[in-house]
Amino acid sequence: MVRLQGGYYSNEGRVEVYCNGQWGTICSIGFSASDANTICRQLGYDSGLRKYDSIYGNTSQPIWSTNMYSTSGDTCFGSSNTCPSSSIANCSYYTDSLVTCS
């Protein structure tokens, strides 16, 4: 499962994925325009853009992954990725993946 949280509107925010029984963020390292589009399509929008802003950070959640990949044809972000066993340590909440969907 995937959702957007912390944005000013329901079509934007921090990308969160549900893994290991809790919601967590995705590091923006390796997060591409294709990833943003895939997440937005999965949420019912036509397309998406990466945002570069640190206002949405949430330090109470784990950072589940970095370098998650999707292709331009993917309709589900988690289809080619698996949940890690623990939070990623080499990323900070200031680099959470953020998107705006349209």
- Beta strand pairing call for 12-19 and 48-51: unpaired
Higher pLDDT, 101 or 29: 101
Higher pLDDT, 64 or 82: 64
Report the Cα 101 to chain-centroid distance in Å: 12
Asked: is 2-101 a CATH 3.10.250.10 domain? The reply is: yes
> Which pLDDT tens digit goes with each residue over 87-100?
766 777 777 889 99
pTM for this model (two decimals): 0.79
Q: Which two tokens stand for residue 101?
A: 């969907």
Which pLDDT does position 48 carry in this prediction?
A: 93
Cβ(38)–Cβ(76) below 8 Å: yes
- pLDDT tops 60 at residue 16: yes
Distance CA 45, CA 13 (A): 14
> Which pLDDT tens digit goes with each residue over 32-78?
888 898 889 989 999 999 987 655 555 678 887 655 656 555 555 55
**With the C-alpha atoms ordered 39, 42, 44, 45, is the resulting torsion angle positive or negative?**
positive
